[in-house]
Amino acid sequence: MAASTSEVAPPTATPASNDYAPSFFTPAEWAFLNAACARLIPNDDNGPGAVELGVPQFIDRQMGTPWAEGALWYMQGPFLEAKAEFGYQSALTPKQQYRLGIKAIDEAVQAATGKPFAALPPTEQDAWLKRIEKGEVKSDALSLKSFFGSFLLKNTMEGAFGDPLYGGNKDMAAWKMIGHPGVRADYLEFVAEAKPYPYGPVSLHGKRG
């Protein structure tokens, strides 16, 4: 499989664009990410899905931040096994999680079906994601359960609901869907009223929706 990654990430603060070329993810990884995102937040009658919102772009851009290097976390060893209550105890950075996690899932799917995850029909993709979420798909490289819950799903939600300047939540559509006013941050006249809030969302760039 071809791996073409560029060292230079695009700036994190740009809204989603339609002709986006990933910096971190390889073509195969990108295909997985887009397919998985489309199942986590599907495009349906309630509003656009994660792909339409630009979530894969969000995740790719996040790979260029210090967070993706594990720079916000205590990453000194020894790395010991511990009960789940003690939180993340892996030496893997978010970048490594994605690199190894996608590879492990695609290998498991390939071995079972002869196809990569992205080539499966949506119902089969859902079934795989459910098994991964429950910890039923194992890999020697990492905990796929943790990759799914603490990275893939968590970052998908961040991308969908974060400000559009990070590359997801295109046109503030996820905020519109749930009635979140974004960064209006001024509710003095409304706070004592248990009524629908009358205004649409505003983003960090000052756009109104």
Binding site for another protein (CB under 8 A): 39-42, 44, 46-47, 65, 67, 70-76, 78, 80, 82-89, 126, 129, 133, 153, 156-158, 160-163, 166, 174-175, 177-181, 183, 185-188, 190-197, 204, 206
Length of the chain equals 209
Instruction: Supply the minimum distance, in Å, between the C-beta of residue 191 and another protein.
Output: 4
Work out the end-to-end distance of the chain between its first and last CA atoms, rounded to an integer number of angstroms: 42
Quote the distance between the C-alpha of residue 183 and its chain's center.
21
Nearest approach in angstroms of CB 117 to another protein is 15
- Closer residue to another protein, CB minimum distance, 118 or 202: 202
Q: Smallest distance, Å, CB 138 to another protein?
A: 20
Closest approach of another protein to the CB of residue 151, in Å: 12
Residue closer to another protein by CB (options 135, 179) is 179
Quick one: 107 or 158, whose CB is closer to another protein?
158
Residue type, 158: E
CA distance 161 to 55: 9
- Closer to another protein by CB, 83 or 111: give it: 83
Alpha helices in the chain (DSSP H): 27-40, 50-53, 55-62, 94-113, 122-133, 144-147, 154-161, 173-178
Q: How far is the CB of 148 from another protein (least distance, A)?
A: 10
User: Among 106, 101, 133, which residue's Cα sits nearest to residue 119?
Assistant: 106
Distance, CA of 147 to CA of 132 (rounded, Å): 9
| 122 touches 39 (CB < 8 A) | yes
The rounded Cα 22 to chain-centroid distance in angstroms is: 14
Nearer to another protein, 4 or 123 (CB): 123
The nearer residue to another protein, 3 or 72, going by C-beta atoms, is 72
**Please, are residues 9 and 61 in contact by the beta-carbon 8 Å criterion?**
yes
CB of residue 114 to another protein, shortest distance in Å: 25
Identity of the residue numbered 157: M
